[in-house]
Amino acid sequence: MMTNQGNRVTQGQFSYLPDLTDAQIGKQIDYALSNGWSIGVEYTDDPHPRNVYWEMYGNPMFDLLDAAAILMEINACRKTFPSHYIRVTAFDSTRGWETPRMSYIVNRPAKEPGFGLARQEAEGRNIRYRISSYATDRPEGERYK
């Protein structure tokens, strides 16, 4: 298990820390809101690092002012997708930025089997590498149980 320490996907902020508690998530949301960034909640069960298209849970919350309301939404998402990856994204709409400024995982499956590395022989003894999550061998929605 040298290549998958602690069996955890490490993507986005805080991913080498223990999972954030709700109070800690609330503080991070407060920080984002105080900067005028709007929060979105996204989920997926395909944790490939190049998978940037996570599904949105509801609309981005442009009009909410308080962390409690966003935590409510996060918890609703956790209830719907208890064993998916869920991340919170803070989007900065300032001209010139127009990009997510924060992104961190707030929910992950109980068991993350990690990634397999496959090598392919190509022309001239080149080697191409491919990684894929062991979980994604199964169809969408059945990957983590």
Partner 1 sequence: MDMAVASPQALFEASGVKDVLDRLDSELIGLTPVKSRIRDIAALLLVDKLRTEQGLQSQPPSLHMSFTGNPGTGKTTVAMRMAEVLKQLGYVRKGHLVAVTRDDLVGQFIGHTAPKTKEVVKKAMGGVLFIDEAYYLYKPENERDYGQESIEILLQAMENQRDDLVVILAGYKDRMDTFFGSNPGMASRVAHHIDFPDYSEAELMQIAQLMLRALNYDFDASAAAAFARYITLRRQQPHFANARSIRNALDRMRLGHATRVVRADSAPTREQLRTLQAEDIAGSRVFDSPAAASGG
Distance of closest approach, residue 33 Cβ to partner 1, in angstroms: 9
Distance of closest approach, residue 67 Cβ to partner 1, in angstroms: 8
Task: Specify which residues 91 forms β-bridges with.
Answer: 38, 100
Give the other-Cβ count within 10 Å of 70's Cβ. Answer: 23
From the list 95, 96, 106, 85, the residue with the least C-alpha distance to 39 is 106
| C-alpha–C-alpha distance, residues 76 and 73, integer Å | 5
Distance of closest approach, residue 72 Cβ to partner 1, in angstroms: 6
Residue type, 62: F
Q: Which of 42, 45, 73, 112 binds partner 1 (CB under 8 A)?
A: 73
Would you count residue 65 as binding partner 1 (CB under 8 A)? yes
Overall size of the chain counted in residues = 145
Residue type, 119: R
Cβ burial, residue 37 (10 Å; 0-12/13-18/19+) = buried
Would you count residue 19 as binding partner 1 (CB under 8 A)? no
Would you count residue 68 as binding partner 1 (CB under 8 A)? yes
**Binding string, residues 25-64; x marks residues near partner 1 by CB under 8 A:** ------------------------------------x-xx
Would you count residue 24 as binding partner 1 (CB under 8 A)? no
Distance of closest approach, residue 78 Cβ to partner 1, in angstroms: 16
Whose Cβ is closer to partner 1: residue 76's or residue 131's?
A: 76
Cβ burial, residue 58 (10 Å; 0-12/13-18/19+) = exposed
Residues interacting with partner 1, by CB under 8 A?
A: 61, 63-69, 72-73
